[in-house]
Structure 1
Amino acid sequence: MLGTATKLRSPMPYSWDIVGYANGLFCVLNYVEGGIALWNPSIQKLKKIPDSNGQPPPLELDYGFGYDSTNDDLKVVQIVELANEEDIVVSHQVSVYSLKANSWKRIQDIPSSSYGFSVGFCDIVLLNGALGWLMCDELLDPQCIIVTLDLASEKYRVFPIPVDRVDIEDRYKPDLKILGDYLCICLNFRSRRDVWIMKEYGETESWSLLYSIDKQPNVYGKPLAFSKNGEMVLLEILGNGYSRLSWYDLEKKSVKQVEISGLRNFLTTICWGICWGSLCLLDGDC
């Protein structure tokens, strides 16, 4: 069953987006000016994070957010892409912000096996204490890899996606998600969109096709969560000028729209997120 939906006031007086969620907190990004902050929607408290190295962040970057249970710390990861004169990505510099220390530090760059691959096609997700993201190379035959960073050890892993190639579209690119306790990847093909889950984390042989949906023009369903019985998947349906929630029945292969009291059926300026309430005061002691 779907829980209660809550409409919350924007935490900042400018345009923002959700970077990630952990332990009742959202990491939010001002995509106009580049600033980031931690936000507790349960108590409406905001903590702005200082710029790394005291300098405004560069334009070509991505952020991830997660909880390091080994050190009982919340961390923000910043990835900066560097390209050569031919506009080919040659390296990815990574910095980590610690809420407990309230400071940034540079760590090892993403492994050189990511040469030519670019971040920025999808969200950076958190599972089993590690952040994971999709990196794609669309210059020739589109290929993608998954990179993970363990927040405690600060070590990387690189492994393949379950198919050899994907279709790269301007509007709906490959997407990495967390569905239940599984790493989940949404892949595009000419006539359909496939959703795979990794049943054993880090074991590429455990990729399993969850469902496949025929493409509809300008419409895309992003998986958010399983129902309690695991028989349905909650989807965020994106189309031309609207966003809504629907249930997808895995057995019947049917879609049913979710009605939310107090919200219009079709919304153009809404971010969907799933979180648990927290009383964390964002003082480094959560």
Structure 2
Amino acid sequence: MRMGYVNGLVCIRNYIDKDISYIALWNPSIQKLKKIPIRTHEPRAQQSPKSEMLDIYGFGYDSTTDDYKLVGIIRKPANEYEVSVYNLKANSWKRIQNMPCSGFSLCNNHMVFSRGALSWLMWKKLHRERQYMIVTLDLASEKYREFPIPVDRIDEIENSMLELDALGDYLCICVNRFMNRCEAWIMKEYGVTESWSLLYSIDTVYSIDMLYAAEFQTYKPVVFSKNGRTVLLKMSKNFKSDSLVWYDLEKKSFKQVEISGLPGVFNFQPTICWGSLCLLDGDPVIV
């Protein structure tokens, strides 16, 4: 499972079974792998209760210290969240201030790195609606920030799905409203809530055949083209078959991306990457 990608380094989590896993950093350019030590400040001798089982990780880069960092969050009783930070140079973990939650809960196990900070979605239920917010952790100052998403509340009847991602230098919110449309919003000025801008709104293809089998599509942005006029989207049909398409933001038209040798029906997670000579031992590059 890929948990993050920064400057040519991939952070992965491998599950040995449902209760045991390990985390590693991998540099595909030089084929080097480094396992991350278990957080020593946490007791692991006895099995944690279910209230402490939720843990998520995010991977990022601190340019002020030229160091790569891994952030781990564990939910404790009473909906408290303990946060730890691993530094690659020191090869060790440390505890930092607990994450503020204000009655909100973590949405999923996904963190996004952008502009020197890790960000993730949180939510709480209000009657038939869900209210969301974004929490960020600056990797240099280790300070938290909170700001709202462009879609204030989501009606549960809509059966919508939200995802937070990074699109270039922008934070991006994807709203997949099943049986209706897919939207993507980008934050043009980091941390400025007034700068949220609608990137696209695409009507989804939804049909029910004679056997009452529903078919729907969802879209997720991957990267802008060089001129910024088109965006590469991952298109998923019924979460069973993925493909790539270019979407023209002005003409609102699609162009299929043909990749030879791929199976007809499969799922994938596209990643934009480039080469790195980082040795994963605390030194920044090969010299």
What is the TM-score normalised by the length of structure 2?
Answer: 0.84
The answer on whether the counterparts of 1:122 and 1:176 sit within 8 Å (CA) in structure 2 is no
2:212 — aligned with what? Answer: none
* Deviations, residues 183-213 of structure 1 (Å, cap 9, x unaligned): 1101244622211011111110111111011
2:224 — aligned with what? Answer: 226
Cα distance in 1 between the residues matched to 2:272 and 2:192: 26
Higher strand proportion: 2
The CA RMSD measured in Å over matched residues stands at 2.2
Cα distance in 2 between the residues matched to 1:71 and 1:170: 45
2:118 — aligned with what? Answer: 131
Q: Does 1:152 align with 2:150?
A: no
The answer on whether the counterparts of 2:113 and 2:166 sit within 8 Å (CA) in structure 1 is yes
Cα distance in 2 between the residues matched to 1:147 and 1:154: 12
Deviating beyond 6 angstroms after TM superposition, the runs of 4 or more aligned structure 1 residues are 169-172
Corresponding residue SS for 2:105: coil
Shifted more, 238-247 versus 33-42: the winner is 238-247
2:249 — aligned with what? Answer: 250
* Deviations, residues 86-117 of structure 1 (Å, cap 9, x unaligned): xxxx2111000111110111100112xx2332
Q: Does 1:182 align with 2:167?
A: no
1:78 — aligned with what? Answer: 72
Quote the sequence identity (%).
Answer: 58
2:24 — aligned with what? Answer: 37
Query: Runs of 5+ in structure 1 lacking a partner?
Result: 1-16, 85-89
The answer on whether the counterparts of 1:121 and 1:174 sit within 8 Å (CA) in structure 2 is no
Q: CA deviation at 1:51?
A: 1.2
The answer on whether the counterparts of 1:42 and 1:277 sit within 8 Å (CA) in structure 2 is yes
CA spacing shift, 1:170–1:91, aligned 2, 3 Å = farther
CA spacing shift, 1:254–1:78, aligned 2, 3 Å = same
Shifted more, 256-265 versus 167-176: the winner is 167-176
Q: CA deviation at 1:48?
A: 0.8
Cα distance in 1 between the residues matched to 2:244 and 2:218: 11
The answer on whether the counterparts of 1:27 and 1:65 sit within 8 Å (CA) in structure 2 is yes
The structure with the larger Rg is 2
Query: Runs of 5+ in structure 2 lacking a partner?
Result: 206-214
Aligned length: 262
Cα distance in 2 between the residues matched to 1:214 and 1:51: 45
1:264 — aligned with what? Answer: 263
Cα distance in 2 between the residues matched to 1:130 and 1:109: 16
What is the TM-score normalised by the length of structure 1?
Answer: 0.84
> Which of 143, 147, 161 is 1:173 aligned to?
161
